[in-house]
Chain A
Amino acid sequence: MHRVDDPTGGEISMAEMTRRERIMTATHKKRADKLPFFCLWRHSHVGWVERECRNRGMGIFWARPPYITKMHGVKSSETQVVSSGKVVLRRTYSTSVGSVYLDEKREPGVEQWKGLSSWRNVAPWQTERLIKGPEDYKILKYMVENTEYIPYYFPIEQAMDWLGDDGVVINSLPYSGMQTLMVSWIGSEGGRFFIHHAKYPDLVEDLARAINKSREPLYEIAAKSPAPVVEIGGNIDGVLVNPKLFQKYFMPEYEKQAKVLHKHGKLLATHMDGRVGVLKDLIAKTPIDIIEGLTTPPVGDLPIGEALSLWKDKAIWAGFAGSVLILGPEPVKKLALNLLREIGSGDRLVAELSTEIILSDENMLLLTSILEKADLPLTKEKIDRIERSLA
C-alpha cells in the first residue's frame, strides 16, 4: 500500500492499493482494500475500453516462461501436407532411435493476434498427436532425456518492467508428465489417453516418469526468477483427470514442486478451469497455493464460495464462465453479482474476467462497473448497493 502526503492537511494518509498490491495481498491471504480483478493480457485488446477499465482498477495478468529449451540429438522440420483432406502443418522430430511427427491445423489469421493465436484468439490445434502407437514411446523418451532447460529471465523481467504496478507477472512452466501425455502427446480425443493407459500402462508410466525427471530442474529455475508466483501446467478437469489419476500421478508432483518453490518463498499456482468438484477434497490436501482459473458454474461444477470454504490455505483466482460471457449483459451481470454474494467477505479471491476468450468491450465495461465497487470486506448491503447502481 502506498503512503502518500496528503496535500490538503499535510498528514500522512493511505492511498488505495495498486492493482498489483491488491492481487498479491489477496493471494497472500490478507485483506485487500477492494476485490482484485484482472484480465489475462492475451484475452484483452488494446483500446479505449481497456484503458478506461484499467484506470478503474482492472489489472493485467501475464504468464511468461523463465527458461529456454534445447534438445540435443533431435532434428525438427516442418512441411505442409494434406492429411484426411485437410491442409495441415506437419512437424517431424528425427532422432537416432526413430522419428515422430504431429500434424497441426491452423485457422486463418494464426500468428496474427498474440503468440501463435489467430484473430479469434484460437491457437493451432493438433489433428495428429506425437504418440500414435506403442512404438513411439521410446522415441519420445529419447527426446525427453536429451532436453535441457536453461534459465532465461529476460521475458519475466521485461514484462515486470512494462507492467509495473498495473498487474502481476508470473512464471509459466509446462505440464507435469502425465498431463503432458494426456493433453498433448497422446491427447484425449476419442479417449486416446485412457485407451493407451489401459493397453500400455508400463509405457505410459515410464514416459511420464521420464518427463517429470527431465523437468525437475525447472522448479529451481522458476524459484530463482524475480516473479513471485510459479504456475505449473494445469488445465485440470476432473472429468479427464479422475481422482485415482489425480492421487497417483498429480499429487506427488505438486509436493515436489512446492518443496522447491516454498524454500525460495515462491507460490505454486495451477490452472484448474474444468469441473473439479470430484477432486475438491484431494485438492484441499495439496500444497498448491493458488487455484488459478477456477471457473464459475455452469462451466465449472464447484461454486466458488464452497471452494473458498474448503481450501482455507489457498487463494482462488476465479474465472467467469466463457459460455455465459457470450450470452449478453443480463446473464453476465447475474453471474458477477452471484459471485459476490457467495464469496463471503471476499478475502483470498481474485476475479479473472475471462480465462478462455477475448473479452468483449461490453463485458469488460460491465464487469468493471460491478467489481470496481466491491470494497472489502464485502457485505450484503454493499452488494445490494452495487446492484442498485446498475439499474
Chain B
Amino acid sequence: MDKEKYLVSLKESIVNLDFDAVVEAAKEAMDAGVDPQTAITDGMVPGMTIIGEKYETGEYFLSELVVSGEVMKEGLKVINPYIKEGSAKKLGEVVIATVEGDNHDLGKNIVTTLLGVQGFEVVDLGADVPTDEIINAVKERKPDILGLSALLTVTMPKMGEAIEALKVADLREKVKVIIGGSPVTSEFAESIGADHCAVNALEGVKKCTEWMTPREVK
C-alpha cells in the first residue's frame, strides 16, 4: 500500500482544519506502519506550509493559523508516542516568553507552534513571566534564541529589562534575541538592543530559521 495516501490525508486534514480527520488520519498512518517522523515532515508539515501560504496571500487569517496549529497538535498526540527518543533532528533551541505583567500569549503561542513545525525545540515559559525566570531559563537551557513578546505598551520596557539582565549575566552575546507583539516596532527593538523585531509570526519564524540555517543541525 502506498504510504502517500496517508500522507495526503494528514496534509488535507490540516488544510481543512479538521480536528476529527487529523486524528483518524494519524491513527490510520500509524496502523499502516508509516514512519512517524515521515508522517510529520511529509504529511503534516506540508499542510502547515499550505496554511502559511494561504495566510501570506490573505486567503487565510490568524484564526486559521491558530486552528491549524491546534489541529496539528491533535494529530501529534497520536503520532508522538511512536517516535523513538533521540530520533528527531533539531534545528535549534528557542526559549520563549511573554514578559511580566502581560497575559497576552496568542502571538507567542502561534510562534511556538510554527517553530516546532520548523524543527526547533521550544521551551515555552508561558505568559506574565518575571525577568529573573527568563534569565534563569537562558542560563539553564543555553538556547540559540530567546523570544520575548508583549502586547501592552506598559509592559514593553520589560523586554529591555530582560536584555539588560542578559548583559549583566554575561549571556547577551551567547543568544539571539527576537521580540514581537502588536505595539513593538523596529525602532523600539533597536533602542533596547534586540537582534530583530518580528513583523508577524511567520516572519519571526523565518528569521529564526535563517539564523540557524548556516549552522550544523544539533
B183 within 8 A of A: yes
B70 and A191 contact, CB distance less than 8 A: yes
Interface pick from A118-126, A160-168, A209-217, A375-383: A118-126
A191 and B128 contact, CB distance less than 8 A: no
Contacting B at CB under 8 A, from A328-350, are: 331
Contacting A at CB under 8 A, from B48-69, are: 58, 61-63, 66-67, 69
B80 within 8 A of A: no
Chain B 169-201 against A: per-residue CB contact (8 Å), 1 yes, 0 no? 000000000000011110110010000000000
Distance A244 CA – B62 CA, assembled complex (angstroms) = 11
B19 and A274 contact, CB distance less than 8 A: no
A239 within 8 A of B: yes
B19 and A239 contact, CB distance less than 8 A: no
Interface pick from B38-46, B89-97, B103-111, B203-211: B103-111
Query: Per DSSP, are chain A's interface residues mostly helix, strand or loop, or mixed?
Result: mixed
Interface pick from B1-9, B26-34, B115-123, B149-157: B149-157
A242 and B128 contact, CB distance less than 8 A: no
Given contacts A237-B182, A242-B62, A299-B182, contact A326 B104 (CB under 8 A): no
Find the A residue at minimum CB distance from B157: A326
A387 within 8 A of B: no
A243 within 8 A of B: yes
Given contacts A121-B154, A197-B63, contact A321 B101 (CB under 8 A): no
Given contacts A198-B17, A198-B19, contact A323 B154 (CB under 8 A): no
B127 within 8 A of A: yes
A16 within 8 A of B: no
Interface residue from B67, B104, B187, B191 paired with A195 (Cβ < 8 Å): B67
A242 and B187 contact, CB distance less than 8 A: no
Hey, which chain A residues are within 8 Å of B184, CB to CB? 323
Distance A86 CA – B101 CA, assembled complex (angstroms) = 12
Hey, which chain A residues are within 8 Å of B106, CB to CB? 188-191, 240
A198 and B67 contact, CB distance less than 8 A: yes
Interface residue from B70, B104, B128 paired with A105 (Cβ < 8 Å): B128
A interface bracket (residues with beta carbon within 8 Å of B): 35 or more
B187 and A194 contact, CB distance less than 8 A: no
Hey, which chain B residues are within 8 Å of A199, CB to CB? 19
Hey, which chain B residues are within 8 Å of A107, CB to CB? 101
Interface residue from A121, A190, A245, A323 paired with B105 (Cβ < 8 Å): A190
A356 within 8 A of B: yes
Interface residue from B103, B110, B185, B187 paired with A125 (Cβ < 8 Å): B103
Distance A126 CA – B182 CA, assembled complex (angstroms) = 19
User: Which of A126, A194, A275, A324 has the largest count of B CB atoms less than 10 A from its CB?
Assistant: A194
Q: Give 15 A-B pairs besides A122-B152, A326-B157 with Cβ atoms closer than 8 angstroms.
A: A120-B154, A190-B105, A191-B70, A198-B17, A239-B61, A242-B62, A242-B63, A278-B58, A298-B185, A298-B187, A299-B182, A299-B183, A325-B153, A326-B156, A327-B187
Contacting B at CB under 8 A, from A102-161, are: 105, 107, 120-122, 125-127
Distance A274 CA – B152 CA, assembled complex (angstroms) = 12
B70 and A195 contact, CB distance less than 8 A: yes
B6 to chain A, nearest CB (A): 24
Given contacts A239-B62, A242-B62, A327-B188, contact A191 B69 (CB under 8 A): yes
30 contacts between A and B (CB under 8 A): A105-B103, A120-B154, A122-B154, A125-B103, A127-B103, A127-B128, A188-B106, A189-B104, A189-B109, A190-B105, A191-B106, A194-B66, A195-B67, A195-B70, A198-B70, A239-B61, A239-B182, A240-B62, A242-B62, A244-B61, A274-B182, A275-B182, A278-B58, A299-B185, A321-B183, A322-B183, A323-B185, A326-B188, A331-B187, A356-B183
